[in-house]
Structure 1
Amino acid sequence: MHDRERLQIAIVGSGPSGFYAAEALLGSALQIQIDMFERLPTPFGLVRSGVAPDHQKLKQPIRVFEEIARSPHFNFVGNIAVGSQITVKELQSAYHAIIFACGASNDRRMNIPGEDLKGSHTATEFVGWYNGHPDYRDRTFDLSQEVAVIIGQGNVAADICRILMRPVDELKSSDIAGHALEALAESKVREVHIIGRRGPVQAKFTTKELRELASLAGTISTIEPAYLELSETCNAELANKRSTVAQKNLEVFHCLTANVPDGSRRRIHFRFQASPVALLGEDRVERIRLVHNRLNGEPFNQCAIATERREDLSCGLVFRSIGYKGVAIPDLPFDPIRGVVPNMAGRVHADGVVLPGLFVTGWLKRGPSGIIGSNRADSLETVDVMLEDLSTTVPARAPGLEGVLPIIKRRSGRIVSLSDWFGVDAAEVQRGRKLGKPREKFTRIGEMLSIMSHQDEQGQPIGLSSTDTID
């Protein structure tokens, strides 16, 4: 098969699921050219902008992704939004197949009165803010408040709490965004309540995250012993071999019952079987109203049922961390309830009818679950069915990138290539080295494009990949 007969595959999204799909494609026996489209100038998705800055080891997959990206049969096409600067139908006309790996970037709402009061925030905007994501660079958080509430009991909730409560000196050597570090240094937050609608057995923390949160320097974590008095159903759930993490978490929770809050340390309170029903205040959040729940149902299928008991808790900040939803892309089927693209093993379908050449992977495929590595098996499944479909026919020639470049160039200002990104990456690392940090991120798209323009002027190689296809 000659180069012009290569299978032309577009991947939309440059996070873990997109790169794992690229890895599987490049490892196949077929001759394949991959063009990866990304809305931002920066690749790596949540590994760059979602992993907490004090968890640098979790960012190591970036090294693997960089090696994948250096393949001569891979192009990074950054700063291009699929759905606006190039449509799905236009991509379909140029590629044999498209894999959508765009993740789930919208937070689920609580749908309660006062949710949009000042002081009420989503997990995504706070995480994006302290990680230097351009979309959230200019968000503001009133850290003069002393009490914060986090709704949700998963690892993202733990990240938010840890960043709020960790001594700022321990964050200085991380890659936290400079503007966030400055704000956190002045923070007056002294107390955080982490609230879940169900019980401690159903909390979604990984044990490592929970232990780290419970042992922060200068902080004391507490739980009321009554929360750990389990029902028969919860005990049955806990006894199941699937509940290893819950068993270990419960050991951690039991250790916290003896802790007594004192005025000399910051405080974290774990609260269970409570749901928010309203955020209260005149111009901003002043209190959160909670309803206490009882659990009902079979093991592993218990739901929270509201009781008559209500409670108002004074607070000045509320973060909701109750899950994520994908965002609809024009011309692509979308399930607004689940927040995913309807699919069967990765094959996109509309009303049960498979749409040839369209595939999906990652959170947009299965919903927001799992850790970074969970995306590898998910992407392998999608690539397998895609290659199976393509093997049943002899595909006509597809122009690939050269077929859509004229359209993109008419609609966008600057296409960001892989070598462009490597230049920005090197500049971030250099800035960070001066501050004793792994990197100091550029947090505005204009800053990144300016760095690239300067590199152009200096005569440094700027191109789509090692083959400089775009330029």
Structure 2
Amino acid sequence: MTDQNTSDTSTTDSRPLRVAVVGAGPAGIYASDALMKSGVDVSIDLFERMPAPFGLIRYGVAPDHPRIKGIITALHKVLDKPQVRLIGNIDYGSDITLDDLKRFYDAVIFSTGANADRALSIPGIDLEGSYGAADFVSWYDGHPDVPRTWPLEAEKVAVLGVGNVALDVARVLAKTGDELLPTEIPANVYEGLKQNKALEVHVFGRRGPAQAKFTPLELRELDHSPNIEVIVDPEDIDYDAASEDARRNSKQVDMVANTLQDWAIRDVGSRPHKLFLHFFESPHEVLGEDGKVVGLRTERTELDGTGNVRGTGKYNDWDVQAVYRAVGYLSQNIAKLPFDEQAGTVPNEAGRVVADDTVEGKGRFMPGTYVTGWIKRGPVGLIGHTKGDANETVANLLEDRPDLPGAEDPREEAVIEFLEGKGTPYTTWEGWYRLDAHERALGEPEGRERVKVVERAEMFEASEPGKKA
């Protein structure tokens, strides 16, 4: 074992390869799994900014999606393995820096995901009553770093975007608080949703049904609520040659198109909340009065033969009092790494971080520094797609192993001594088991699987009783 003050820049053949993974969501856990399955002797520390693990699954998936949350079961099995250690409640950049990590680890993988809203540059987007979907998702998922209340005064609401996040937002807005009560939503979210006045939710896409990014199962789930009437205008069912090709070449595209067609030709029922899916309507302006949203103006579009659309010059005004943009997530800059502001990614080649003038690096790549998941390729695709990212990144990390700089102090206890020496509070995997049991106990009196804890202090106390956050 290397003395704490002695540099160990030799190869790691005589000891486990020490790897830090920053971000304990699916991407980071899949990377840890790939490392453990590689056959290489590894020792992994998984750093997470939140007191609890699982990232997007815990704080980015709608609470009425237990099927997706079931992914946690598979992630749990990875974190149960002895080669990986969770160190939660640690903020990269302040609690620990890249220089610190390179003291204790041979390589660092960043898997920090994307949790901000991509901008939409149309007039009026900053009016009161105009929101980013990511902020709303964080609220209803009980994220500790967002306000505890949400304004839900609007009776008519617009959601901009035709991906699964847009569907989640629309569905949560259209459901009643009591419908969502059996899920894990915290008390503040239930109380807020009980006061929700929305009776109409309008979802807008600028292209057609064949270009929608919904998954078929998630789309069909909209129609399962006894309170939501899903309505599609028959005039919005249109396909050009490229759209027809897309349907022939993708079973998923065809299933989405068929579902929308079926809804377009059926009679409108009597369920109290109406959820309209509009296509060929490109957001042009959020209309305001006295600084508040009073409407949305869209331009009617038409297919151009390639699956893209062009404007027709015809505009429609919609009576809405709130607008939610769900046009994509955006990753945030990571300290000491290069960053492509437009793409919202760290420049990389197959997971190897490309050095530039803003960061220190020898040669083309930053030594021992890697990315995976949405910070690597952008926030596209389903959760499972990050497995391929992880496998590629880990393969390149292991290929680089002979040339890795080598940790100065690779002892497993060294980073813990560092954090405790600074008085930095952290949570553990054992602590997650305690928090999990606490949340389940909160739900038990009401017959619910769990009630999610929101406050950081309560999360920390439940995870690590006796320690101070």
Decide: shared fold, TM above 0.5.
yes
Write out aligned runs for 1:41-56 (5 A).
41-56=51-66
**What's 1:186 paired with?**
195
Q: Cα distance 1:412–1:456, how it changes in 2: closer, same or farther (>3 A)?
A: closer
CA distance in 1, matches of 2:175, 2:346: 38
**Separation in 2 of the partners of 1:407 and 1:362?**
28
Where do residues 68-467 of structure 1 align in structure 2 (5 Å cutoff)? Answer: 68-141=78-151, 143-239=152-248, 241=249, 243-261=250-268, 265-281=272-288, 282-296=290-304, 298-299=306-307, 302=308, 304-351=309-356, 353-391=364-402, 395=406, 398-399=409-410, 402-405=413-416, 407-409=418-420, 413-452=424-463, 454-455=465-466
Q: CA deviation at 1:350?
A: 2.4
Deviation at 1:75, TM superposition (A): 1.6
Secondary structure of 1:145's match?
coil
Query: What is the one-letter code of the residue matched to 2:352?
Result: R
Which consecutive residues of structure 1, in runs of 5 or more, have no partner in the other structure?
458-471
Matched AA of 2:69: K
CA 1:397–1:206: 2 relative to 1, 3 Å:
same
Distance 2:79 2:271 in 1: 50
Q: Using a 3 Å threshold, how does the CA distance of structure 1 residues 297 and 228 change in structure 2: closer, same or farther?
A: closer
Letter in 1 for 2:194: A
Q: 1:271-298, CA deviations, whole angstroms, 9 ceiling, x for partnerless residues?
A: 1122222212223211111122233463
SS at match of 2:340: coil
Q: Aligned equivalents of 1:415 and 1:104: distance in 2?
A: 23
Q: Give the C-alpha shift of residue 423 in structure 1.
A: 1.5
* Structure-2 change in CA distance of 1:115 and 1:423 (3 Å): same
Please, which runs of 5 or more residues in structure 2 have no aligned partner? Answer: 3-11, 357-362
Q: Report the TM-score when normalising by structure 2.
A: 0.90
Cα distance, 1:444 vs structure 2? 1.3
- Per-residue deviation, 1:161: 1.4
Equivalent residues of 1:7, 1:32 under 8 A apart? yes
Asked if the contact 1:286–1:314 (Cα under 8 Å) also holds between the matched residues in 2, the reply is yes
Between the two proteins, the alignment pairs up a number of residues equal to 452
Give the aligned residue type for 1:225: P
Q: Which amino acid aligns with 1:157?
A: A
C-alpha spacing 1:235/1:66, structure 2 compared with 1 (3 Å):
closer
Higher mean C-alpha deviation, range 272-281 or range 151-160: 272-281
Cα distance in 1 between the residues matched to 2:237 and 2:335: 47
Which among 5, 12, 15 is matched to residue 25 of structure 2? 15
- Give the superposition deviation at 1:134: 0.9
Identical residues among aligned pairs (%): 37
Distance in 2 (CA, whole Å) between partners of 1:393 and 1:448 is 37
DSSP 3-state at the match of 1:136: coil
Gap change, CA 1:397 and 1:87, over 3 Å in 2: closer
Give the Cα–Cα distance (whole angstroms) in 1 for the partners of residues 91 and 225 of structure 2: 40
Determine the structure 2 residue equivalent to 1:467.
none
Q: Secondary structure at the match of 2:145?
A: helix
Q: CA RMSD in A?
A: 2.4
- Contact kept, 8 Å, 2:148 with 2:188, in 1: the verdict is no
